[in-house]
Amino acid sequence: MGGFLKEYHRPVLLRETLEVLDLKPHLVVVDATFGFGGHGFEIAKRVDPGIVIGFEKDPETYRIVAESLPPITNIRLLNLGYERMDEGLLKVGILTVDRVLFDLGVSSFSIEGTGRGFTFRKEEPLDLRFNPNEGRPAYEFLNEATEREIAEVLRRYGEERKALQIAREIVKRRPVKTTTELAAIVDALYPPPWRRKAKARVWQALRIYVNNELENLRRGLALAIKHLKVGGILSVISFHSLEDRAVKSLKDFPFLKALTRKPIVPSEEEVEENPRSRSAKLRAYMKVAEVDVPSLLEDRRFANPFPPMRKERGRGRRRKRRRR
């Protein structure tokens, strides 16, 4: 592929991912987060004459990559999110696949090149949607939600300890429409050494909420398991604790066998060359039995990053002891 694609995507854990997927010619592989094809193009080389089915939600990324594909290729690229995997596989006429890869990182192009507010380092509209044709932008949520609703999003999805103070300031200063306006609110509540990480948590929380990322991930993982053949491999690269906890929870289900006892992380050399890889974790599973996906999605334990509330369990135990 051209230099433009390489410039905007440096695949994380590439060697390790290719190894854990155990690729061979003739395999059918889903790249559920194709992006600029950092993993997908390498997978396509190794499975040829098999095929790679790439899902890419961002219409701008999809357009750039689709226009760059050669006329004859073993890649089928779809402008769909992985939560619509059923629909996408039906379009290409395939019901079962051999491998599925999720790379849950946000591409450099999304951060730097879309102008949708994914970075707090420059002034842009605070949109944060991967597909600007779906849902509502982050600034609409911030300008319409209650203080309590904003605080809950920051606390739940960003694990932000000053969620209530930040929410209170947002409501006080509304309308908040740009990255610089939100960044100034966060900066005012933190000393300089802590500001960058605080803004990263706030941006993460809003991005997850606006794109419904965790629920879409649950559905995408369930559909991947549905379409994988028994003996097929699912691998997921996550970048923050909520994603990793959701993926880690898959080990508790009998239809999957963990192939990675602990998550695979980048080498020191990779982190030095690509600092954005430092938080990446790769987990992989083999499908060992069929599963009923509708029932799976009704099970709230499946791919749920939020553990049961300990206080509630403790209160229940104390009440039982008193009754005795």
Residue 172 lies in a domain: yes
What is the residue-level pLDDT of the chain in tens, covering all 324 positions? 444 455 556 899 999 999 999 999 999 999 999 999 999 999 999 999 999 999 999 999 999 999 999 999 999 999 999 999 999 999 999 999 999 999 998 877 777 778 999 999 999 999 999 999 999 999 999 999 999 999 999 999 999 999 999 999 999 999 999 999 999 999 999 999 999 999 999 999 999 999 999 999 999 999 999 999 999 999 999 999 999 999 999 999 999 999 999 999 999 999 999 998 999 999 999 999 999 999 999 999 999 999 765 444 444 444 444 444
Same domain, 81 and 175: no
Amino acid in position 165: Q
Same domain, 96 and 221: yes
Residue 39 lies in a domain: yes
Residue 83 lies in a domain: yes
Q: Which of 182, 184, 192, 250 is nearest to 221 (CA)?
A: 250
**Per residue in 246-281, is it b (16+ CB within 10 Å) or e — as a string?**
bbbbbeebebbeebeeebbebeeebbeeeebbebbb
Same domain, 167 and 196: yes
* CATH label of the domain that carries residue 69: 3.40.50.150
Question: Pick from 178, 193, 210: which residue ends a domain?
Answer: 210
Domain count, the chain: 2
Domain that holds residue 62: 3-108+213-298
**CA–CA distance, 280 with 261 (Å, rounded to integer):** 16
* CATH label of the domain that carries residue 204: 1.10.150.170
Query: Structure tokens of 54?
Result: 């790439």
Question: Pick from 167, 193, 210: which residue ends a domain?
Answer: 210
Residue 123 lies in a domain: no
Residue 97 lies in a domain: yes
